[in-house]
Structure 1
Amino acid sequence: MATKQQFSSFADLLTGSDLPVLVDFYAEWCGPCRLMAQTFAQIAPQVKGRVKLVKINTEAYPQLAAQYQVQALPTLVVFRDGAVMARVEGALSGDQILQWLQTQGL
């Protein structure tokens, strides 16, 4: 299960992580995004210790959505050492996310 955490900045969250960070950019009004919340909860035990899962509400943080050129929801972005490593748009099943992460070497 995900827990809410506070960070002084998104950059601190990314650079302060020893693990790659998988960010789900979403909005509350987005139906497929709500499905992704369930999917994140399902895959969390399988990626624990390999990838950190983070959800960013684009309505609350529009500047992050603009900075990372999020044009469709949901958008998943993998960051490593603060830099974008990979991205995919649209809702995915848990198996699809795990397979996608595997193709990224994670």
Structure 2
Amino acid sequence: MRKLLFFHSPWCPPCRFYEKEFILPLIRISGADKVQKINAQEEPFTTDKYSIDKLPAIVLLDGEQVKMNRTGAIDIKEIAEFLEGSDVN
């Protein structure tokens, strides 16, 4: 199953902005089952597993395989298409 992991922290203002502008619209398009929010403070092992060193960050997974690891703006349409089965650039 394809999934987006959203790494954030509650004290992080850019994380709250990112969630509002990118993650919540993506959830509306693709469904909550395809997006997992991960509090980087509460899940340090998961954060380390995906080499997250800046917040906010996303990781796109196709099964267990990492297809993208990124900080910064995302193209919501492109990510939604990936979650539905298309390849990501």
Shared fold (TM-score, shorter chain, > 0.5): yes
Larger relative strand fraction: 2
Structure 1 equivalent of residue 70 of structure 2: 88
Distance, in Å, in 2 between the alignment partners of 1:44 and 1:102 is 13
The SS at the match of 1:86 is strand
Structure 1 runs of 4+ off > 6 angstroms? none
Q: How does 1:53-72 map to 2 (within 5 A)?
A: 53-72=35-54
Q: Is the 8 A contact 2:3 2:36 kept in 1?
A: yes
Query: Once superposed, what is the RMSD of the aligned Cα atoms?
Result: 2.4
User: Aligned match of 1:35 in 17, 42, 46?
Assistant: 17
Counterpart check, 1:99 vs 2:82: no
Which ranges of structure 1 fall in alignment gaps of 5 or more residues? 1-18
Which structure's relative contact order is higher, taking Cα pairs within 8 Å and 6+ residues apart?
A: 2
Counterpart check, 1:24 vs 2:13: no
Q: TM-score, normalised by structure 2?
A: 0.76
User: Aligned match of 2:61 in 46, 59, 79?
Assistant: 79
Q: How many residues align?
A: 84
C-alpha displacement of 1:85? 1.2
The one-letter code sitting in structure 2 at the alignment partner of 1:98 is K
C-alpha displacement of 1:100? 4.8
1:58-104 per-residue CA deviation (whole Å, 9 max, x = no partner) reads 000011111111011111100111121112112x26xx232355476
Which ranges of structure 2 fall in alignment gaps of 5 or more residues? none
% identical equivalent positions? 23
User: Aligned match of 2:27 in 14, 38, 44?
Assistant: 44
